[in-house]
Structure 1
Amino acid sequence: MNVCIEDCTPRSASVFSRSNLRLESTLQELSLYDFQVDLDQVGMVLAKMFETNPTIPGVILNHDSQFIGMISRRRFLEHLSRPYGRELFLPRSIRALYKLSQVELLILPGDTLIVDAARLAIMRSPEQIYEPIIVQISETDYRLLDTQQLLIFQSFIHQLATELLQEQTQSQLMQTEKLASLGQMVAGVAHEIRNPVGCIVGNTHCLTQYYEDIMQLINAYEQELITPRPSIEELKEDIDWEFLKNDGLQMLKSIQVSSEQLKHLVNSLRTFSHMENKQRRETDIHECLDSTLIILKNRLKVGIDVIKSYGNLPKFLGYSGLLSQVFMNLLANAIDALEETANHSHNTAKIWISTHVADSCPSQLRSLIIPPKNNPEYPQNTESSEDPLTPNSQYIVIRITDNGPGIPKEIQNRIFDNFFTTKSAEKGTGLGLAISHQIIYEKHGGCLHLLSTPGIGTEFEIVLPLI
């Protein structure tokens, strides 16, 4: 008799350490039954095995060290309980019993995810749903897993997934609250700064005009005074009059330019942090883009060229603050990507921003739409009647393209998932693109999709319906 027993009393669910359980846990990580018997043994051997080990769900059958199949405890006892069952099967070879009790087997590789195995197990016919599952560890190593045990572990994973989702949801809510608070603070600060900045801009303009008038008056006096007094000549030499006269005007003009830039920055902050929750307003897409570029100006000074190609866009009914948030996320991601390759590439880092109006939505555009996965708020079938893009409508199309390293193919379909990020915790939360997709899709009825080629660059395309 060939009886191989590695774990006669496998761990129950209560003993199993849930701390080791992961969403990606596989069957081979579970406690599996390793009871094997040769097909030519008599049925009495099988009966003793089941009697000695009352918890095992079945036994692996082999012949000449080759896997043949499996017989479950349930089917074995079912045949023995029939009239003359014990007399027919116990003294004879197990082979006869196996032929009568043979059913379709569910054989799964050891690296099968527990959640996938549970789904396959419950999809079996009612007659087979309680049959043990055969787990293939290697070419010659087969073991058994009780279906009930599998479903218990699957419930643990479901509970774990629920807990993780709650944690992520709570984290997202906290992040959203922080962003909302930050937006309100920025809006308040920008509003308070706007008045003194306006005063500086207006007074600097007047002061420059006054300076030019004073210079004209002094020049008139110099023309009238043919021979200035020696004390005046000494004073002019001490203060370096010629330099002061020219540099003073340049200084006032630089203050004026700087104050104008500060005014634009304040206006950009107000536009970016503007929170419109109730109704859409006429929005200048180009103003939103330019305001975002002003905010990111310091990051763009590190050798990144921004090439703008703006079309003739009409006013768009939307939420300017939210659109600016989308532009900020996309442009910041492009800058991050270009900064990563700045020391390894001889090409000039570039970002292209283009806008135009499309008279229709081309079919190839629809095929690129990548909705967030596993989110019931977003229809997964982009060709359904809920598709926000209507073929006969006009659209504003905004493309933001960079010549960075691109996004690997294997993660492109995950970039809009909540909390998915390839950045460190200091640089990214994994919410930027997910929130951007939600803003475009849910708030504006548009689409945000990706076209990226590793080693060449990445393009995000925003499509906003004008209806």
Structure 2
Amino acid sequence: MLLTLPMVSDPKRNLSSTYADSLAKLTIESSLRDLTLYKKSVDVKNLTKILLKIFENDTVIPGVILKKGKEFYGMVSRRRFLKRMSRPYALDLFLKRPLTTLYNVDNFPVNILPESTPVLEAAQFALEREGEQMYEPIVVQRENGKYALIDVPLVLYAQSHIHKLTNELLQEKTHAHVVQTEKMASLGRMVAGVAHEIRNPVNCVHGNVSFLQNYFDDLLGLVKMYQAELPQPSVMIANYLKDIEIEFLEEDLPKILQSVEISAVRMIEIVTSLRNFSRIDETKQQLIKLPECLDSTLLILNNRTKKHRVKITRNYEANLPDILGYSGQLSQVFINLLANALDALEEKLSRQDFLAETAWIPEIQVDIFTQFSELDSDGLNESRDWICVKISDNADGMPKKVRQRIFEEFFTTKPRGKGTGLGLAISHEIVTRKHAGRLELTTKIGEGSAFSIWLPLQSFPVIEQLSNKD
């Protein structure tokens, strides 16, 4: 009697609804372990008819794992099984025989991937398989040593879903980046306006201090002349001189005028620093003196360094060349890096138990130096010359998992509301894309971190030409 193959698959099977739970939990970094795995297995000693019953009872399962005892033996897919069983006399030939007979005759192909394989990598692997293998389930080797199956359509669905997540994240990052850049540009314009308004009265004060000093000297000289001509003043004059403490006034007023002049100079330096920082949205490169740019940035952060008594060490190479760049954007990079260093030092300072046991002093070191390349022997190939700004701290350093993601957008180790995760990402973009440079990190746990900003030096003829044009 010829056996007939019963219905063991559902033609109305809705894959998207079947996989809805798996897709809902996916992230960009998901691997095969995050997808639905089919763990059904049978021993190859069993008769083939057991497979027919499994596929009859479960219309979703893509295949079955074959074991020989406790060892992995192979895999039989639903598609290949039905194809084989639909041939004439196949049911009569195989159903009452062990699974080894079917497996050896049909030579079912097996592809094995570890469950840690990223979904995107697994999808690419599945699509690169040749011929009918493209549609076969993939065997997944689990971390516990056992095996399971994953349906290829699920992998492709997951790949599509991850691409959608990636596009959404990219749009979110782009929007956040634009908002942050616009905020910084708006801040720059506001700072430029405030600096301009402050600069005029400060210049007035600074410019008139010398006149005040001269007038005071003249008046003091006149008083001394009167004292010489009238050594015995009237009682009223004598009492007035005593009331105003003329001797103290002669000594203290020059100090006050000197203090006003020093403060006015300080205000001019701060205003100049703010004006440099305000050029964030500038579109034209200009010659920059890096020591002045860094000193201006340190001046802006002076309040924080004084508050925590942070030692600032400057090591600037002598006769440093100017570079072409955007001073406002580089000031933003320096502020981001110095502010991060101060954050790390403040975090270490907050550990009172640590401070009680050591004589540690918080320190930031700023180095600027050049690195020149030598010409090849034939004089034709010339490597780039560089100027480097290195900002180091003696805080706690960074663990490997932080170091690996430090320049990623939205990655931050700071509490919610304190850090945006954009500072270092934007700094990296400014250095690498706007200035064709490199931003590198070296760090050691317990000793601190150092960011090195490598900026290319233009050849002097180019700089001279640009200077002449300006």
TM-score category (smaller protein): 0.7 to 0.9
Gaps of 5+ in 2: 1-11, 376-380, 459-470
Identify the match of residue 38 of structure 2 among 5, 10, 33. Answer: 33
Which residue identity is paired with 1:399? K
Contact 2:40 2:64 in 1 (8 A): yes
What is the alpha-carbon distance in structure 1 between the residues aligned to residue 281 and residue 60 of structure 2? Answer: 63
Aligned counterpart, 2:17: 14
Aligned counterpart, 1:183: 188
* TM-score normalised by L of structure 1: 0.85
What is the alpha-carbon distance in structure 1 between the residues aligned to residue 202 and residue 48 of structure 2? Answer: 95
Does residue 1:192 correspond to 2:183, yes or no?
no
Q: How many residues align?
A: 432
Structure 1 residues 291 and 361, CA, compared in 2 at 3 Å: closer, same or farther? farther
> CA-atom RMSD, angstroms?
2.5
Aligned counterpart, 2:345: 338
Cα distance, 1:96 vs structure 2: 0.5
Identity of aligned residues (%): 45
1:368-407 matches, cutoff 5 A: 391-407=382-398
> 1:154-194, CA deviations, whole angstroms, 9 ceiling, x for partnerless residues?
22222122212211221111111111111111112212221
Cα distance, 1:87 vs structure 2: 2.2
Identify the match of residue 446 of structure 1 among 423, 437, 458. Answer: 437
SS in 1 for 2:433: helix
Cα distance, 1:66 vs structure 2: 4.3
What is the alpha-carbon distance in structure 2 between the residues aligned to residue 219 and residue 188 of structure 1? Answer: 47
Aligned counterpart, 2:210: 205
Does residue 1:119 correspond to 2:119, yes or no?
no
What is the alpha-carbon distance in structure 1 between the residues aligned to residue 261 and residue 457 of structure 2? Answer: 39
Cα distance, 1:243 vs structure 2: 2.5
Aligned counterpart, 1:305: 311
Aligned counterpart, 1:384: none
Structure 1 residues 172 and 392, CA, compared in 2 at 3 Å: closer, same or farther? closer
> 1:366-405, CA deviations, whole angstroms, 9 ceiling, x for partnerless residues?
xxxxxxxxxxxxxxxxxxxxxxxx8534322222222121
Identify the match of residue 44 of structure 1 among 27, 49, 55. Answer: 49
> 1:285-312, CA deviations, whole angstroms, 9 ceiling, x for partnerless residues?
1111111111011011021111112121
What is the alpha-carbon distance in structure 1 between the residues aligned to residue 343 and residue 331 of structure 2? Answer: 18
Which residue identity is paired with 2:391? I
* TM-score normalised by L of structure 2: 0.85
Q: Which has the higher helix share?
A: 2
Aligned counterpart, 2:256: 251
Cα distance, 1:111 vs structure 2: 4.6
SS in 2 for 1:247: helix
What is the alpha-carbon distance in structure 1 between the residues aligned to residue 69 and residue 434 of structure 2? Answer: 67
Contact 2:280 2:328 in 1 (8 A): yes
What is the alpha-carbon distance in structure 2 between the residues aligned to residue 413 and residue 53 of structure 1? Answer: 45
Which residue identity is paired with 2:365? W
Structure 1 residues 196 and 19, CA, compared in 2 at 3 Å: closer, same or farther? farther
Does residue 1:107 correspond to 2:112, yes or no?
yes
Contact 2:115 2:141 in 1 (8 A): yes
Cα distance, 1:323 vs structure 2: 1.5
Structure 1 residues 357 and 250, CA, compared in 2 at 3 Å: closer, same or farther? same
Greater displacement, 146-155 / 119-128: 119-128
Cα distance, 1:136 vs structure 2: 4.0
Identify the match of residue 437 of structure 1 among 428, 431, 438. Answer: 428
What is the alpha-carbon distance in structure 2 between the residues aligned to residue 355 and residue 24 of structure 1? Answer: 39
Aligned counterpart, 1:347: 360
What is the alpha-carbon distance in structure 2 between the residues aligned to residue 212 and residue 430 of structure 1? Answer: 57
> 1:40-89, CA deviations, whole angstroms, 9 ceiling, x for partnerless residues?
22222222322333332111222435443210011112222334322221
Greater displacement, 425-434 / 198-207: 425-434
What is the alpha-carbon distance in structure 1 between the residues aligned to residue 105 and residue 137 of structure 2? Answer: 17
Which residue identity is paired with 1:303? R
1:305-324 matches, cutoff 5 A: 305-311=311-317, 312-324=319-331
Aligned counterpart, 1:329: 336
Structure 1 residues 26 and 107, CA, compared in 2 at 3 Å: closer, same or farther? same
Aligned counterpart, 1:385: none
SS in 1 for 2:131: coil
Gaps of 5+ in 1: 1-8, 363-389
Cα distance, 1:263 vs structure 2: 0.8
Contact 2:25 2:34 in 1 (8 A): no
Contact 2:185 2:281 in 1 (8 A): no
SS in 1 for 2:260: helix
